[in-house]
C-alpha cells in the first residue's frame, strides 16, 4: 500500500508541483501530461549540455557515446513494454505521429476499397482522424464499436460486428476521459479471429500498467513519453518486426536510407527506415530516464495506487447528489464528472484559485462527448505523485463552487 508519506517524498522530486508562490499545486491533469521528476530534468540537461552531439554519423567519441546512449534508450523502451527485440521500437514524435505512421504506411499498403477499420466510441481524436484520412485515400470504411452501459468498449458488440472485411481494429488500452480499461487480450483474439490487426493506443496505459507485448498479443502499440513522466516531442511505436519489415517509409530524408541516387533510393531496415532526419536525441535520452524512474516504483503498485485514488474520488463524488459520474467504477486513475448547473470550465476556473488543476473540455474525444450527451466533462487524473491531499483539495474546491453557484 502506498502511503501519503510515500507520495510526499515523491512529490518533492517534482519541481513542477509547487506554485510560483511556493504553495502546493494539486495537479490533477496527469492524463494530459505528467509532471517531470528531477531525474528526468537532469538527464535532459546533461544530454543537452555536457554530453550533447549528434547520433549515428559522428566519427568522434562524443557522438559515438551519444549513439550508444540513444540505442540504449531503445533497448530500455523494448524491455519496458516486453518487446522481443529493440528493432521493434520506432522513436516517433508522440502517439499521434505513431498512429499517423501506421495509418499511412501500413494502411496505405494494405487497405483497399471495401475494407473496414474498426474504432470505438471512446477514442481520442488521434485514433480517429488518421484513420479517416487513410479511409478517404483508399476507399476503406470506418465502423464504431459501441460502449457498455458503464462506458467500457463493448467486446461482445465487437465480436458481433467484426467481419473478414476488417483489416484493423484500433482501440484505446485505457480511455483518457473515463479511465476505462480495455479487455485487450480478448480484443486481440477477436481481431485475429477475422484476420485483422490490433492497434492499441497505450497513451494512458503505459504510465499506469505493466505492459508485455507478448502477453497482450496486439500488433501495434503506441505511447507518448510526456505522459510517462518524460519529455514532450518523443513517443514510441511498437510493431511486430515482420510488420515493420513489410511497411514502406512514412517520411523520406537522412538516416532512413541505404543508398541514394537521383534515379532511386533504397531504404534502411526498421527501425531506422521510420526515423528520417536527426532524431529527438535529448528527448530519447530523457525518455530512458523516465522509464527508469517510473518502473522503479513498480508498475503494479502504481496501478493499484492510482486505481484506489480514483475509486475514493468516485465514492466521494457519488455521495454529493449534485454530481454526475461517467465511466466504470474500476478506472485506471482517471475520473470524469459533471456538476449540476456548473459548466466544467467554471469549475476548473474556481478550482484554479484553490491551486487545484483539473481538465475541463472535450478531452479530444468529441464523439464520446456526443455519446455521453454533454459538451464537456470535468476530469481529474492521477499520477504517481497524487494522494488523498489532492482529493481533499479538489473536494473543498467543489464545495466552494457549489456555494458560489447556490
Ligand atoms: N491517445 C490518448 C488516449 C491520449 O490520451 C492522447 C493524449 N491526450 C493521445 C492519444 C495523443 O497523444 P499525443 O498528443 O502525445 O500525441
Region 344-365: mean pLDDT is 96
The separation between CA 20 and the C-alpha centre of its own chain, rounded to angstroms, equals 28
Closest to 188 (Cα-Cα) out of 219, 166, 212, 157: 219
Confidence of residue 7 (pLDDT cuts 50, 70, 90): confident
Domains of the chain: 4-30+298-405 (3.90.1150.10), 43-295 (3.40.640.10)
The continuous run of DSSP H or E covering 379 comes out as strand 377-381
Whose CA is closest to atom 5 on ligand 1?
176
C-alpha of residue 117 to centroid of ligand 1, in Å? 20
The reported pLDDT for the residue numbered 1 is: 54
C-alpha of residue 225 to centroid of ligand 1, in Å? 10
Spatial separation of the C-alpha atoms in residues 284 and 188, rounded to whole Å: 29
Spatial separation of the C-alpha atoms in residues 9 and 230, rounded to whole Å: 19
Query: Which atom of ligand 1 is the closest one to the Cα of 172?
Result: 3
C-alpha of residue 172 to centroid of ligand 1, in Å? 10
Region 327-356: mean pLDDT is 96
pLDDT(144) > 90: yes
Any ligand 1 atom below 6 A from CB of 201: yes
Residue with cell 482501440: 171
C-alpha of residue 135 to centroid of ligand 1, in Å? 21
The continuous run of DSSP H or E covering 27 comes out as strand 26-27
C-alpha of residue 127 to centroid of ligand 1, in Å? 8
Q: HSE (CB half, 13 Å, CA atoms) of 219?
A: 22
Any ligand 1 atom below 6 A from CB of 162: no
Region 36-50: mean pLDDT is 98
Any ligand 1 atom below 6 A from CB of 180: no
The reported pLDDT for the residue numbered 2 is: 64
Q: What is the pLDDT of residues 212-256, one digit of tens each?
A: 999 999 999 999 999 999 999 999 999 999 999 999 999 999 999
Any ligand 1 atom below 6 A from CB of 126: yes
Decide: residue 333, CB within 10 A, 0-12 exposed, 13-18 middle, 19+ buried.
buried
Least confidently predicted of 9-13, 90-94, 147-151, 344-348: 9-13
pLDDT(356) > 60: yes
pTM more than 0.95: yes
Spatial separation of the C-alpha atoms in residues 28 and 388, rounded to whole Å: 12
Query: Which atom of ligand 1 is the closest one to the Cα of 123?
Result: 3
The reported pLDDT for the residue numbered 213 is: 97
Q: What is the pLDDT of residues 100-120, one digit of tens each?
A: 999 999 999 999 999 999 999
Any ligand 1 atom below 6 A from CB of 124: yes
Average pLDDT, the chain: 96
The reported pLDDT for the residue numbered 163 is: 98
The reported pLDDT for the residue numbered 8 is: 72
Q: What is the pLDDT of residues 252-309, one digit of tens each?
A: 999 999 999 999 999 999 999 999 999 999 999 999 999 999 999 999 999 999 999 9
10: which 3 cell numbers?
A: 515523491
Any ligand 1 atom below 6 A from CB of 95: yes
pLDDT(372) > 90: yes
Active-site annotation, residues: 364
Any ligand 1 atom below 6 A from CB of 174: no
Amino acid at each position: 500500500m502506498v502511503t501519503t508519506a510515500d507520495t510526499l517524498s515523491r512529490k518533492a522530486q517534482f519541481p513542477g508541483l509547487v506554485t510560483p508562490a511556493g504553495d502546493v499545486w494539486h495537479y490533477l491533469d496527469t492524463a494530459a501530461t505528467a509532471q517531470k521528476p528531477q531525474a528526468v530534468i537532469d538527464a535532459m540537461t546533461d544530454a543537452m549540455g555536457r554530453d550533447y552531439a549528434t547520433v549515428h554519423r559522428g566519427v568522434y567519441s562524443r557522438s559515438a557515446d551519444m549513439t550508444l546512449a540513444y540505442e540504449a534508450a531503445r533497448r530500455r523502451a523494448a524491455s519496458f513494454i516486453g518487446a522481443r527485440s529493440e528493432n521493434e521500437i520506432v522513436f516517433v514524435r508522440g502517439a499521434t505521429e505513431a498512429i499517423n505512421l501506421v495509418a499511412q504506411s501500413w494502411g496505405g499498403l494494405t487497405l483497399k476499397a471495401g475494407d473496414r477499420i474498426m474504432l470505438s466510441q471512446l477514442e481520442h481524436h488521434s485514433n480517429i482522424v488518421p484513420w479517416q484520412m487513410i479511409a478517404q485515400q483508399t476507399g476503406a470504411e470506418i465502423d464504431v464499436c459501441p460502449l457498455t452501459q458503464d462506458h467500457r468498449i463493448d467486446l461482445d458488440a465487437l465480436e458481433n460486428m467484426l467481419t473478414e472485411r476488417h483489416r484493423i481494429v484500433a482501440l484505446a488500452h485505457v480511455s483518457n476521459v473515463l479511465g476505462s480499461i480495455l479487455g485487450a487480450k480478448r480484443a486481440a483474439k477477436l481481431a485475429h479471429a477475422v484476420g485483422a490487426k490490433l492497434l492499441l493506443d497505450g497513451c494512458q496505459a503505459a504510465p499506469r500498467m505493466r505492459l508485455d507485448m507478448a502477453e497482450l498479443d496486439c500488433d501495434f502499440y503506441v505511447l507518448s513519453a510526456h505522459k510517462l513522466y518524460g519529455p514532450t516531442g518523443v513517443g514510441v511505436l511498437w510493431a511486430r518486426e515482420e510488420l515493420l519489415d513489410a511497411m514502406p517509409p512514412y517520411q523520406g530524408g537522412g538516416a532512413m536510407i541505404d543508398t541514394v541516387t537521383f534515379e532511386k533510393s533504397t531504404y534502411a531496415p526498421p527501425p531506422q527506415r521510420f526515423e528520417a532526419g536527426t532524431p529527438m536525441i535529448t528527448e530519447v535520452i530523457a525518455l530512458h530516464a523516465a522509464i527508469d524512474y517510473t518502473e522503479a516504483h513498480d508498475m503494479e503498485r502504481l496501478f493499484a495506487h492510482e486505481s484506489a485514488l480514483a475509486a475514493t474520488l468516485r465514492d466521494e463524488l457519488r455521495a454529493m447528489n449534485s454530481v454526475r459520474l461517467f465511466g466504470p467504477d474500476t478506472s485506471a486513475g482517471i475520473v470524469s464528472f459533471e456538476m449540476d448547473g456548473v459548466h466544467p470550465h467554471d469549475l476548473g476556473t474556481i478550482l484554479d484559485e484553490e491551486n487545484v488543476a483539473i481538465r475541463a473540455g472535450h478531452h479530444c474525444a468529441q464523439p464520446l462527448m456526443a455519446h455521453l450527451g454533454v459538451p464537456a466533462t470535468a476530469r481529474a487524473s492521477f499520477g504517481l505523485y497524487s494522494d488523498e491531499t489532492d482529493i481533499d483539495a479538489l473536494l473543498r474546491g467543489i464545495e466552494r463552487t457549489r456555494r458560489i453557484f447556490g
